[in-house]
């Protein structure tokens, strides 16, 4: 869009063509390159940008705009096997209304990360009460325990009022999923809250949940 016609079209809509925006910028900013400058600094700025984009894409963390149809197809397939939108919203942290817009086709484009999250929702979630081998779940739980988390802490984070009551051999798909999600979440924070905070001065805790303050005489 560098021709005279498109420039005046943009101008008539109150939009500034790139060349105008670029004119006020220093050389070495990518917008200046987009505005047409091919000096060394501007070319380098553009190359750096392209390189970073390719790198991010290769690392799978690219978050540009993609058409929504793949996510839409996946959402429709999931709904056919009775994976509800709420379960998907829980699993992906994507808002219900956005999921709805994608599924109905009202939203045509989405972020690449949103797409990846939706495509990652698996058929397993179709039957949350189905039982599955618990050994993978226990591997994760044991790792959390080794990091210093207490069983009651983990239970709390999973939303259970009591302590962990998982069996060793079998676990529901839903609980296995919840544990994995919690594990990933804690891992992302570097297991920062694994060690319980130190007790206040002059305080002992003879029993979990009980604090005894020693009086000074
Ligand atoms: Zn330049």
From the CA of 57, how far away is ligand 1's center (Å)?
27
pLDDT > 60? residue 51: yes
* 89 and 147 inside one domain: no
C-alpha of residue 26 to centroid of ligand 1, in Å: 7
Please state the rounded mean pLDDT for residues 129-137.
80
SS3 8: helix
204 and 162 belong to one structural domain = yes
Q: What is the predicted pLDDT for the residue at 10?
A: 46
The reported pLDDT for the residue numbered 79 is: 78
Rounded distance, CA 129 to CA 111, Å? Answer: 32
Q: Assess whether 112 and 146 both reside in one domain.
A: no
- The Å distance, Cα 53 to ligand 1 centre, comes to 21
| CA–centroid distance, residue 65 to ligand 1 (Å) | 28
Residues 78 and 52 in one domain: no
Do 80 and 113 belong together in one domain? yes
The last residue of one of the domains, among 111, 126, 141, is 126
215 Cα: distance to centroid of ligand 1 (angstroms): 73
Last residue of a domain, one of 58, 78, 102: 58
Residue 4 has a pLDDT of 47
Give the Cα separation of 74 and 88 in Å (integer).
Answer: 11
Question: How confident is the model over 60-84, as a mean pLDDT?
Answer: 83
- Ligand 1 centroid to Cα of residue 32, in Å, is 6
Answer with the one of 126, 143, 177 that is the final residue of a domain.
126
82 and 102 co-located in one domain: yes
Let me know whether 184 and 105 are in one domain: no
State whether 169 and 201 are in the same domain.
yes
Confidence of residue 175 (pLDDT cuts 50, 70, 90): confident
Instruction: Identify the residue with better confidence: 77 or 108.
Output: 108
Domain that includes residue 152, residue range: 127-217
Q: Are residues 10 and 96 in the same domain?
A: no
The terminus-to-terminus CA distance of the chain in angstroms comes to 83
Q: Are residues 199 and 135 in the same domain?
A: yes
- Please state the pTM of the whole predicted model: 0.40
| Residue 83: other Cβ atoms inside 10 A | 21
Confidence class for position 18, pLDDT limits 50, 70, 90? low
Decide the pairing of beta strands 170-172 and 131-133.
Answer: antiparallel
Query: Is 72 within 8 Å of 110 (Cβ atoms)?
Result: no
- Report how far ligand 1's centroid is from the alpha carbon of 52 (Å): 20
Those residues whose beta carbon sits under 5 angstroms from the ion ligand 1 are 27, 32, 37, 39, 42
pLDDT computed for residue 173 by the predictor = 75
Mean predicted lDDT score pLDDT of the chain: 80
Structural domains of the chain, count: 3
Q: What's the pLDDT score for residue 141?
A: 96
Same structural domain, 91 and 44? no
pLDDT digits (tens, 9 = 90+) for 90-131: 778 899 999 999 999 999 999 998 999 898 887 666 566 667
User: Which region among 45-59, 99-113, 116-130, 163-177 has the lowest average model confidence (pLDDT)?
Assistant: 116-130
Do 132 and 215 have their domain in common? yes
CA of 2 to the centre of ligand 1 (A): 17
Most confident of 9-13, 78-82, 104-108, 196-200: 104-108
Ligand 1 centre and the CA of 14: distance in Å? 26
- What's the confidence (pLDDT) of residue 162? 78
């Amino acid at each position: 869009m560098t021709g005279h016609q498109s420039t005046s079209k943009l101008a008539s809509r109150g939009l500034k063509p790139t060349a105008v925006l670029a004119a006020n910028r220093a050389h070495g900013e990518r917008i200046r390159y987009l505005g047409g400058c091919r000096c060394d600094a501007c070319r380098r700025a553009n190359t750096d940008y392209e390189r970073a984009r390719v790198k991010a894409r290769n690392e799978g963390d690219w978050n540009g705009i993609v058409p929504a149809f793949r996510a839409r197809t996946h959402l429709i397939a999931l709904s056919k096997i009775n994976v509800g939108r709420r379960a998907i919203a829980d699993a992906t942290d994507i808002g219900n209304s956005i999921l709805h817009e994608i599924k109905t086709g009202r939203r045509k484009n989405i972020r690449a990360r949103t797409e990846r999250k939706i495509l990652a929702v698996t058929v397993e979630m179709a039957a949350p009460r189905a039982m599955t081998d618990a050994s993978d779940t226990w591997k994760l739980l044991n790792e959390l325990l080794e990091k210093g988390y207490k069983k009651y802490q983990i239970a709390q984070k999973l939303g259970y009022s009591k302590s962990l009551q998982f069996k060793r051999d079998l676990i529901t798909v839903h609980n296995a999923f919840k544990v994995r999600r919690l594990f990933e979440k804690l891992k992302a924070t570097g297991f920062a809250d694994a060690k319980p905070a130190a007790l206040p001065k002059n305080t002992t805790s003879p029993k979990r949940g009980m604090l005894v303050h020693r009086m000074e005489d």
